[in-house]
Structure 1
Amino acid sequence: MGWGSQPRCAETTELFVLLSSDKNATGLTMLPKRGIQAPADADRLRAVLDRRLQRSSVRGAA
């Protein structure tokens, strides 16, 4: 799957979420933070997502 299929992302306290922009279908990929072994790993993933995707807000996210 290419970056273009899910051009937006959001972050919650427990997840990174990649979101589609298709108005006819909802697509998402959830990346649980519990799989991250060190805080620096989360920072690196956040940096990659910020370079490639547009940030979206999530209701109820801390």
Structure 2
Amino acid sequence: MSIVRSCCGARTRAGTPCRTKPIPGRRRCRWHGGRSTGPKTPEGRAKAALNLPRIRAARGAAEVG
């Protein structure tokens, strides 16, 4: 039995639940990651791997401050 979601379920910046319908077959709407499938090509995966340390550092700095 599949669960039918009427709302995305993510939280907005205001802290309220997102009211947008999720992408069919996904849990989130297009604004909260429903369309993201990640890099598919070897070039895209390599580029993502190069960006990962920079992104982690930025997130760590944001969490500390």
Bigger fraction of residues in helix? 2
TM-score, reference length from structure 2: 0.28
Greater strand share, structure number: 1
> What TM-score, normalized to structure 1?
0.29
| Structure with the greater alpha carbon radius of gyration | 2
